[in-house]
Amino acid sequence: MCLCLGPQGSGKTLLLKRLQNQEIIDITSNPTPTVGINLAKIKLNDEPYTEITVREVGGSMAPIWKNYFNGTSEIMYVVDTSNLCQIAAAGTMLYGILADPLLKRARILLVLTKMDVSYRQMRNEALLMLQMARLKKELGREITVLEASAMTGEGAEEIIEWLRGKKKAKSNANKSA
């Protein structure tokens, strides 16, 4: 199971809708904050039965996110790069997730969202504020960082490719078993 986590208002719901191609997303799209969980089925390609379910857990539920960690093999962590105040808090929440023993083998995708409304330098500033270089060094495992925008669709294919990597790994494991 892939968990989609991040602070309130980081853009998780809209991003997942973009990945699902569920509806046209434009400037009038304004989802309500997720209270609870949403399940999103994302097609990985045009072949039948090639989809993955992503469980989005609302940002307001951060104190109980750990209840969803058991059996999780991927974390998609979403940070709003247009909100400087949120980035530092998002980093603290991310460190808590990465420190959990249930997730020591989980693949991690850090999605920097709302790149369409932030300036280009924000990516570097966000990574500095999150102390990504130090975190990757101390963590000793890969954290994939992608930029995305639910409004423009930027980064959607890269996220699906990252999700597809997990599916391929499982298929290869089943073939060798």
pLDDT tens digits in sequence order for the chain, 177 residues long: 899 999 998 989 889 988 987 556 655 566 677 878 899 999 888 676 688 999 999 999 999 999 999 999 999 999 998 888 888 889 999 999 999 999 999 999 999 988 777 666 677 888 888 888 888 888 888 899 999 988 888 899 999 999 988 544 333 333 333
| pTM of this structure | 0.85
Q: What domains lie within the chain, and their CATH numbers?
A: 2-176 (3.40.50.300)
Q: Which of 67, 49, 71 is nearest to 58 (CA)?
A: 67
Distance of alpha carbon 76 from alpha carbon 82, whole angstroms: 18
The pLDDT assigned to 97 comes to 94
Residues contacting residue 42 through CB under 8 Å, at least 6 positions apart: 16, 19, 20, 51, 52, 53, 54, 160, 163
